[in-house]
Amino acid sequence: MSAQPATATREWPDEGSSRVPNWVYTDPQIFARELDLVFGASDWLYVCLETEIPNPGDFKRSQLGNREVVAVRGTDGTINVLVNRCAHRSMQVCTASRGSAKEFVCPYHQWTYDLAGNLLGIPFRRGYRGQGGMPPDFRPEEHGLQRLAVTHRHGVVFASFGAPNESLESYLGERMLGYFDRVFDGRQLVVLGHMRQRIPSNWKLMFENIKDPYHASLLHVFLVTFGLFRLDQQSAVEMDETGRHAVLVSRRGAQETNEATAQMRAFKPGFALQDKRLLDPVREFPGDATVVMQTLWPNLIVQQQSNTLAMRQIVPHDARSFDLAWTFFGYADDTPEMHQRRLRQANLMGPAGLVSLDDSEAMLLSQAGIDTNDDKTCVVEMGGRAVVNEPHMVTETAIRGFYQHYRSVMEL
Amino acid sequence: MSAQPATATREWPDEGSSRVPNWVYTDPQIFARELDLVFGASDWLYVCLETEIPNPGDFKRSQLGNREVVAVRGTDGTINVLVNRCAHRSMQVCTASRGSAKEFVCPYHQWTYDLAGNLLGIPFRRGYRGQGGMPPDFRPEEHGLQRLAVTHRHGVVFASFGAPNESLESYLGERMLGYFDRVFDGRQLVVLGHMRQRIPSNWKLMFENIKDPYHASLLHVFLVTFGLFRLDQQSAVEMDETGRHAVLVSRRGAQETNEATAQMRAFKPGFALQDKRLLDPVREFPGDATVVMQTLWPNLIVQQQSNTLAMRQIVPHDARSFDLAWTFFGYADDTPEMHQRRLRQANLMGPAGLVSLDDSEAMLLSQAGIDTNDDKTCVVEMGGRAVVNEPHMVTETAIRGFYQHYRSVMEL
Amino acid sequence: MSAQPATATREWPDEGSSRVPNWVYTDPQIFARELDLVFGASDWLYVCLETEIPNPGDFKRSQLGNREVVAVRGTDGTINVLVNRCAHRSMQVCTASRGSAKEFVCPYHQWTYDLAGNLLGIPFRRGYRGQGGMPPDFRPEEHGLQRLAVTHRHGVVFASFGAPNESLESYLGERMLGYFDRVFDGRQLVVLGHMRQRIPSNWKLMFENIKDPYHASLLHVFLVTFGLFRLDQQSAVEMDETGRHAVLVSRRGAQETNEATAQMRAFKPGFALQDKRLLDPVREFPGDATVVMQTLWPNLIVQQQSNTLAMRQIVPHDARSFDLAWTFFGYADDTPEMHQRRLRQANLMGPAGLVSLDDSEAMLLSQAGIDTNDDKTCVVEMGGRAVVNEPHMVTETAIRGFYQHYRSVMEL
Amino acid sequence: MVAVAPGMEVGLELRARLADLYCAYDDALNDGALERWPELFTEACVYKVIPRENVEQGFPVALIYCESRDMLVDRVVALRETALFAPRIARRITSGICLRAIEPDGLHLTASFAVFQTMQDQPSELFLCGRCQDRVVDDGGALRFAERLCIYDSTIIPTSLVYPV
Amino acid sequence: MVAVAPGMEVGLELRARLADLYCAYDDALNDGALERWPELFTEACVYKVIPRENVEQGFPVALIYCESRDMLVDRVVALRETALFAPRIARRITSGICLRAIEPDGLHLTASFAVFQTMQDQPSELFLCGRCQDRVVDDGGALRFAERLCIYDSTIIPTSLVYPV
Amino acid sequence: MVAVAPGMEVGLELRARLADLYCAYDDALNDGALERWPELFTEACVYKVIPRENVEQGFPVALIYCESRDMLVDRVVALRETALFAPRIARRITSGICLRAIEPDGLHLTASFAVFQTMQDQPSELFLCGRCQDRVVDDGGALRFAERLCIYDSTIIPTSLVYPV
Ligand code: FES
Ligand code: FES
Ligand code: FES
Ligand SMILES: [Fe+3]
Ligand SMILES: [Fe+3]
Ligand SMILES: [Fe+3]
């Protein structure tokens, strides 16, 4: 740690987005700005799946940036996303993490809000026997719960703190929308369960990790050994126009030795499973991609890794930690075998995932290296220095794309 | 959290003391200023009860603001309040939380202070065999323990870091003094025991809570259900001239249904106790008030709730947490029945109190709502926008009074 | 705590180095500057003992200031000290705390470094089948692990983040070198084990403690009672020219009462051990000094207390906490009796040491006194106000020497 | 295993019955089955949660102070029906159960307890630890607590003590 | 002491054998002797680590989801051979082992567990706590877990769950 | 319940006596009755508190290193009479006591321990956890520790180790 200069004096390295200065992962002032400019602006943030709140009154809490919100289905079936803060004296109105409600009653003084956040009632608003009460000019309509702009597509709910000037579809862009619709094709989704982990690193390291196909063949011995993800397979890294969203697309390969595995220490040719059921992937989507990992600015990863499907929501806590909240899902029309397969393959994902624990540990170890070297700079030059889509995995282009967008948003 | 502007640029909402901006509960710089201007100035802070240190040499540690002090009865019977910091190299001189001492010896180099904090002795001050020692011009009288101005009334000890320009009596003002003397009427006090809780909220939320009669009928189902505190009872909220001190006065009512209970969700008409002894209050003070809660700037609540009497001392830790230290007491002339009654009624108070745990949890939930919404503002308009005494409970006037004074002290 | 002024506005008391303002122990900005100017500059920092990494490839992690480094013996037998941060994206390259390696492979993307930190290999540097890879102008020689200047003397390894303009010998100065060589006389060292404690105080309090002979006779009842350290014994406090390094030299005395013990409350004439083996010191160094404690700027204490020898490494965490890492050692030619004696006498040292636990607790209690009184000042006038070597123990001269140097380094 | 203090001779069957009682106690609290909790006490029981500080200084005030099984029931109902609190999960563990004396008024035991607490979407944390001082009697064939004092080591309760310990 | 639920009569020998099994389990994990861990399960065992939240809502997904002893072995080998993780030490303790029912499909037990974790050069910390829901059978003379559900109280895993609990 | 390692046959009475010893040990420390602590050891006992790191690397240095009951007494007296330390309360719990072997030199056991610590006006915290490696002998009719190694998992002691563990 060196003495922290004011944010204003932070200067991005001359090399541009192929370099990332370590202070973006440590500076509390940078983090505070991110809460406003990245998580609190007009972008569409992932909130939850529609199927989590199927009926009117059903609600679920979620965290957008560092704000607690409640996603609730209104009586008319529309979904409202409300900031969980009473307009009176700021208490959290909703203490349950999920449930069903007819209205929200703040426990402190029982100010009551409808499912759209409108202030319905204030006990003793008119006083009692002529004494006390709210001023006559008090306007309840100005004191509702803060309500966000909401949109949803094929069962996935997004919200925005600002007034987005584009639809979700245009926000994602055509290419990303295609990949989005590949998994969210309109079929009814079914939640299989949640996992959550608190990772002691900056939240951006999570995005870097998923936007980085280069590491997959090298770090994930399990993945590579069983051919689930191999750099020598046909693959692609694609972004939207801005660089903020991306997908990694890959195909399954065999557990074989070749000129690529020669450069992959991770590859263990002799390793076999005792119980083969752990790895029994079945093709279920059109095309031959077996892995599609989509990163959507600013808080979502859509994971399709063989037959495990999950939303990974990023919830930043401070410059040095974030929560990763996983929602595993399938489709209502899954066969019992496919259902079971998804549960089994979940062994590879989540906080104990035989693949993804490598990643959470990598983030821990990265932040450890960063924390005491925040005067140093990361080098992001694999695949060149440009931000372009690539038909291969030997590139960090999507990380550069992310920082290109980040810098413009953060004015850095 | 938005990027925190410097304190200097903080601006109170135009509406004045009927609005409280959330940053007063979160900003570390505001908190640092409070330690100086609220807790470290010339106000009288509650220290302890006289009866806790009955004999010469008896001492008890206390926390005033964030400073550790020792209240000790001197050899002449007067009470001294000393900052627990050695004048040599700043070690805490007193490590026990209470006890009896003839003098205070700093463990590090055994500098020795008398019970008034005067530096009595320094080992090897003159050196040893002509070598070393303190400089000849060293003046022990300049190196005592910091000693506070002290006053006490009817068994209650107060101290001040500054040089108060008014007596405790004038500091309290005539009206508050009357309520103070109602409980502290000169009878010998007896400590019944201590409780302490660490509450993850800003300390001011504790004062707001006790200055807020509006919540009592709505939040405290237990209290309301058994008629211990009802908004439809004759009652009052009164302040001193400045607004910094206040009392809430209430009367017991019946467990009955009427037009007020119609607005009180808290009211549960059918609920009855299996063991009635828990609620067996007896009138013991003149007048018909059954509850008098007095809030004394800047760190004390005097609680008379039926027959439970307690000092609640506020010890701020940082912007987001404080300790609430309870000292339950009775009178030396209590009958055994009254003694037992106080112990039983203590079930309603403290960290596990069937009433007061609602409050500590409300503070936790309020801070949670505040923490991620520090750009928002609390609305304190119940009972109007003015700071005036009121003969009823449907008002937040005392909270406005508190912030009126707070703003003038903090220059906000 | 008062509102913290910017570092720039901090002013050292007029009295100079005989006063220490409490904010040097609490201010995070001061701490950040210390990491740069005290621990991150051109001074020689203690790293480890040579014998901990005897063979090529043997490595051990160490913390210099707040930076993680790896000390590793190269294939040619020289010792390298490398910052544990991958040049690619900043991950810690070495996750084990010790071991043996042929090279360092970063787990994330397997960038591979030789034992001198040179970047040897990057998987897929040239891409795969003509796609991707690092830019052609990427220069591996610019992307090694940061490598520190290293020196060692008689088995003790030091390193520096800057380019030291003086040898270790000149850095220590002639007098300090003499004391250093007294313990490190060229004999083969043997590590007996490690201990580590996290002390909730500013790191400078550790140095003050060891540079302060005045406390030893007063605080350490055990030491004094058994005559292991007595202020009435012939002794000395000596420093190098700058004041940054110092030694305390003392001799054993008898367990007897005299004019000095009269001023030492610590002295307990009647106390005897049931098992005398705990205290069975044997003279092993030339001269009649039985205790020599050497403090070497900025992170080392060399302890020779009777027959316990230990390196005590100071690892600062933040303004209010540091780790003290102990490495106990002996000599390869120790007799079995001497070996056993060292182990027994270790009962007096370390986190549970019958002597040194007084010190860690004293630091805890000092920081507690400091934390809430950071507007106060420590008085360091024992033995006068000058910085001079002294042939006795009744002095704080070496603390003044330390702060004289500290102020010039920190420009305070 | 319930242990016995030095010098006492106690059959294994009694040890086992005591172990069952202690386990049932933790179980009732850990399951959130507060309704089962009063049944483990006698009708005229005493139950207190009290800081060590008060015990040491002879101060009688307790955070929870119940003088009958009915009062335990009242507390459970009050928690269920009237109290506001943020959701939390308690996990109580017991160690070192020791039968110290067999007196006419019952079996006197002590044990150490620790309670871990989990707030919503937060990691689990140590909440309290301390010692139980118990008197157990045979109450119509079942062992029950005639007296249970939960003396916690800290002076500080983190936020609130919602559930009994 | 393994306790039994009210109303059950269980011999001391069975209690002792169960205690041995539970102790061996913690021991295997605490020694870092993961290789011994699968041996404490039957061949067709079920082992899951699952947040309480999922259990309460009926969600089937588990962090670890093993349907056979072979899958336990696969996990151990994968951890040993393929996983990257920062060094850590786990210490598992068990409390309140309670035999709740003896059914044709085996002995049904519950127990509380807590796992403390120590990262390199860091103080030890509480990592997780929760409840085990177990089915134990006599498997050729040895008691083994036919089913072990480790239901942890928190929704949050600190960083990663590397070792089984 | 003291457990036994697989393959061993040990009577319930011995298990109970061992449980009594282990409980008495924790009890002496938890009561702050340090004076009772040396009595649980044989005269020629060995007692050490040592970080796992040193054990694993074969380093002999221990934080506390006592070679006789007298040395235990000396430490207690030194703590009582000579040491400065901030007031604190320790609470030691034991889990997984396992009799691993019966050898001519005594009974060999291991157990897990955790110590929670409470500083004045602070919440209770986990202080240390680790494993005991013990040798217990019958010493004139009473079971006593001939050897107790307390091997703690962390390398880090929070501030100081004042009381034995
Ligand atoms: S804070 Fe919500 S009603 Fe008062
Ligand atoms: S610090 Fe108190 S005597 Fe030195
Ligand atoms: S971070 Fe080290 S190889 Fe990529
Ligand atoms: Fe990955
Ligand atoms: Fe209230
Ligand atoms: Fe010392």
Residue B111 has pLDDT above 80, yes or no: yes
Residue E23 has pLDDT above 90, yes or no: yes
Residue ranges for chain A with pLDDT beneath 70: 1-8, 253-267
pLDDT band of residue F32 (cuts 50, 70, 90) is confident
Residues of F with Cβ-Cβ distance to B323 under 8 angstroms? 121
For the Cβ of C39 lying below 6 angstroms from any atom of ligand 3, the answer is no
The answer, as to whether pTM is greater than 0.90, is: yes
* pLDDT tens-digit map of C201-247: 999 999 999 999 999 889 998 888 877 777 777 889 999 999 999 99
Contacts (Cβ under 8 Å, ≥6 apart) of A158: A44, A45, A46, A47, A150, A151, A152, A168
D123 touches chain A (CB under 8 A): yes
F19 touches chain D (CB under 8 A): yes
**Chain B: closest CA distance from residue C376 (Å):** 8
Q: In this predicted structure, what is the pLDDT of residue D26?
A: 97
Q: Which residue puts its alpha carbon closest to atom 3 of ligand 3?
A: C109
Q: In this predicted structure, what is the pLDDT of residue E80?
A: 93
C364 touches chain F (CB under 8 A): yes
Q: How far is CA E130 from the centre of its chain?
A: 10
For the Cβ of C89 lying below 6 angstroms from any atom of ligand 3, the answer is yes
Q: In this predicted structure, what is the pLDDT of residue A228?
A: 75
**Which of ligand 2's atoms lies nearest the C-alpha of B110?**
3
Q: Residue F127's closest chain D neighbor by CA?
A: D126
Higher local confidence (pLDDT), C186 or C269: C186
* pLDDT tens-digit map of C40-53: 999 999 999 999 99
Q: In this predicted structure, what is the pLDDT of residue A142?
A: 97
Residue D80 has pLDDT above 90, yes or no: yes
Cα-to-centroid distance, A373 and ligand 3 (Å): 15
Tracing tokens 């900043």 back to the chain, one arrives at C90
Q: In this predicted structure, what is the pLDDT of residue C261?
A: 67
Residues of D with Cβ-Cβ distance to E15 under 8 angstroms? 16
Give, as one character, the DSSP assignment of residue C333. T
Higher local confidence (pLDDT), E13 or A217: E13
C-beta of residue E101 within 8 angstroms of C-beta of residue E34: no
CB atoms within 10 A of CB A410: 18
Name the 3-class secondary structure at B397.
helix
Distance CA D19, CA B380 (A): 55
Residues of B with Cβ-Cβ distance to F89 under 8 angstroms? none
Q: In this predicted structure, what is the pLDDT of residue C256?
A: 64
E53 touches chain A (CB under 8 A): yes
pLDDT band of residue B2 (cuts 50, 70, 90) is very low
Give, as one character, the DSSP assignment of residue B411. T
Ligand 1 mutation pick, A108, A120, A125, A146, max ligand atoms within 8 A of CB: A108
Cα-to-centroid distance, A298 and ligand 3 (Å): 24
Cα-to-centroid distance, A306 and ligand 3 (Å): 26
**Which of ligand 1's atoms lies nearest the C-alpha of A106?**
2
Q: Which residue puts its alpha carbon closest to atom 1 of ligand 1?
A: A89
Q: In this predicted structure, what is the pLDDT of residue C255?
A: 59
Distance CA A334, CA E97 (A): 39
D161 touches chain B (CB under 8 A): yes
Distance CA C180, CA C189 (A): 14
Of C7, C90, C93, the CB nearest to A378: C90
A97 touches chain D (CB under 8 A): yes
First to last CA, chain C: 20
Distance CA B23, CA B375 (A): 7
Distance CA C92, CA A366 (A): 6
The alpha carbons of chain E give a radius of gyration, in whole angstroms, of 16
Q: What percent of chain C has pLDDT over 70?
A: 94
Read off the pLDDT of each residue in C386-391 and give the average, rounded to a whole number: 95
Residues of D with Cβ-Cβ distance to B347 under 8 angstroms? 64-66, 71, 75
Residues within 5 Å of ion ligand 6, judged at the Cβ atom? C 359
Residues of C with Cβ-Cβ distance to B105 under 8 angstroms? 265
Distance CA E14, CA F23 (A): 22
Q: Are strands D157-158 and C45-49 parallel, antiparallel or unpaired?
A: unpaired
Helices (H), chain D: 12-30, 52-57, 69-81
Q: In this predicted structure, what is the pLDDT of residue C224?
A: 80
C-beta of residue A293 within 8 angstroms of C-beta of residue A248: yes
Distance CA E141, CA C198 (A): 49
Residues of D with Cβ-Cβ distance to B361 under 8 angstroms? 83-86, 159-160, 162
Read off the pLDDT of each residue in F2-27 and give the average, rounded to a whole number: 94
Q: In this predicted structure, what is the pLDDT of residue E106?
A: 98
Residues of B with Cβ-Cβ distance to F120 under 8 angstroms? 97
pLDDT band of residue B103 (cuts 50, 70, 90) is very high
Kindly determine whether residue F19 and residue D6, on different chains, have CB atoms separated by under 8 Å: no
Query: Mapped to the 3 state alphabet, what secondary structure does chain E carry?
Result: CCEECCCCCCCHHHHHHHHHHHHHHHHHHHCCCHHHCHHHEEEEEEEEEEEHHHHHHCCCCCCEEECCHHHHHHHHHHHHHCCCCCCEEEEEEEEEEEEEEEECCEEEEEEEEEEEEEECCCCCEEEEEEEEEEEEEEECCEEEEEEEEEEECCCCEECCCCCCC
F82 touches chain B (CB under 8 A): no
Of B20, B215, B390, the CB nearest to A108: B215
Structure tokens at F8: 């061993």
The overall longest dimension of chain F from CA atoms, in Å, is 49
Q: In this predicted structure, what is the pLDDT of residue C267?
A: 67
pLDDT band of residue D95 (cuts 50, 70, 90) is very high
Query: In one letter, which amino acid is D114?
Result: A
Structure tokens at C219: 């605080």
Residue D31 has pLDDT above 90, yes or no: no
Q: Which residues of C touch B (CB under 8 A)?
A: 1-4, 20, 22, 208, 214-215, 218-219, 231-232, 260, 263-266, 362, 365-366, 368-370, 372-373, 376, 378-385, 390-395
Q: Which residue puts its alpha carbon closest to atom 4 of ligand 3?
A: C109
Higher local confidence (pLDDT), A188 or B231: A188
Distance CA E63, CA A348 (A): 9
Give, as one character, the DSSP assignment of residue A88. T
Of F84, F86, F123, the CB nearest to B198: F123
Q: In this predicted structure, what is the pLDDT of residue A255?
A: 59
**Does B touch D (3+ CB pairs < 8 Å)?**
yes
* pLDDT tens-digit map of A309-328: 999 999 999 999 999 999 99
For the Cβ of C109 lying below 6 angstroms from any atom of ligand 3, the answer is yes
Q: Read out DSSP for B238-271? A: EE-SSSSSEEEEE----S---TTGGG-TT--TT-
Q: Residue F123's closest chain B neighbor by CA?
A: B198
Q: In this predicted structure, what is the pLDDT of residue C5?
A: 44
* pLDDT tens-digit map of E51-86: 999 999 999 999 999 999 999 999 999 999 999 999
A340 touches chain D (CB under 8 A): no
* pLDDT tens-digit map of B60-91: 999 999 999 999 999 999 999 999 999 999 99
Q: Residue F115's closest chain E neighbor by CA?
A: E124
B154 touches chain D (CB under 8 A): no
CB pairs under 8 A between D and E: 78
Kindly determine whether residue F155 and residue E120, on different chains, have CB atoms separated by under 8 Å: yes
What is the torsion angle, in degrees rounded to the nearest 10, for the CA atoms of residue C207, residue C209, residue C214 and residue C219? Answer: -170
Average pLDDT, chain B: 93
